[in-house]
Amino acid sequence: MAILNLKKKQIECKIVYYGPGRCGKTTNMEHIYKSYKKQVTGDMVSIDTEGDRTLFFDFLPMGLGEIKGFDVTVQVYTVPGQVQYRSTRKLVLKGVDGVIFVADSLAVRREKNMLSLKDLQHNLKEYGINIFKIPLVMQHNKRDLAGEGLPIMAVEQMEKDLNRQLKVPSFPASAISGQGVGATLKECLKLTLISLKKEMKLGQ
């Protein structure tokens, strides 16, 4: 849930990158941090706790506009994907306004993608959030690995596995090269802004 900062006249919202271990969440974050340096306020912060790592930074999206005279600022987070860090993932989702689910295109990670999406749905439900109603964008990452001869899934297969019921916007991407990274984030920011505007209208 977005936070109103009356003193700064800002609406602070939170976007979380979610997905299985080693799917490319951190690489997405690093690409955004480097490529959109002017829009990043402050450093990327890493919270290390007993082997897991949570990253976040503050992001001031240019041209996103205002809501009722308030500037919109965004905190971008990533969660540790490994199964054993479930409690950390749940904690990071607290107060989330938008989610980017990063799926791994490698064929061997098919099951891990599906388990991670179920984990996301479960953790959101614990906070009373319906996965079908929260601003959610899917990214099919590591598309570049096809060129390296590694067996990757067709986008159609990934859509069938992960997005058949959700029907959310999805983007093929390569976080290493940056392809699709900006487009994924922009779509999530757009959906989050629309959602926040609706919430503020309802709250009047």
pLDDT tens, residue by residue, 4-51: 888 888 889 999 999 998 999 999 999 999 998 889 988 999 887 666
DSSP calls for the chain: --EEETTTTEEEEEEEEE-STTSSHHHHHHHHHHHTGGGEEEEEEEEEETTEEEEEEEE--TT--EETTEEEEEEEEE---SGGGHHHHHHHTTT--EEEEEEE-BGGGHHHHHHHHHHHHHHHHHTT--TTTS-EEEEEE-GGGGGGT--B--HHHHIIIIITTT---EEE-BTTTTBTHHHHHHHHHHHHHHHHHHHHHHT-
- What is the per-residue pLDDT for 204? 55
- What is the per-residue pLDDT for 49? 64
- Are 188 and 98 within 8 A, CB to CB? yes
Pairing between strand 52-59 and 3-5?
Answer: unpaired
- What is the per-residue pLDDT for 8? 82
d(CA 141, CA 118): 18
Neighbours of 140 (CB within 10 A): 27
Main-chain dihedrals φ then ψ at residue 53, nearest 5 degrees:
-140, 130
Neighbours of 15 (CB within 10 A): 23
pTM over 0.75: yes
- What is the per-residue pLDDT for 193? 92
Instruction: Write down the residue that tokens 């977005």 correspond to.
Output: 2
Instruction: Provide, rounded to the nearest whole percent, the portion of the chain with pLDDT above 90.
Output: 64
d(CA 165, CA 121): 13
What does the pLDDT look like over 68-97, one tens digit per residue? 788 888 999 998 877 778 888 898 999 999
Q: In the chain, what are the domain boundaries? A: 3-202
Query: Which fold is adopted by the domain 3-202?
Result: Rossmann fold (3.40.50)
Instruction: Write down the residue that tokens 């992960």 correspond to.
Output: 162
d(CA 21, CA 7): 39
Between 90 and 173, name the one with better pLDDT: 173
- What is the per-residue pLDDT for 200? 79
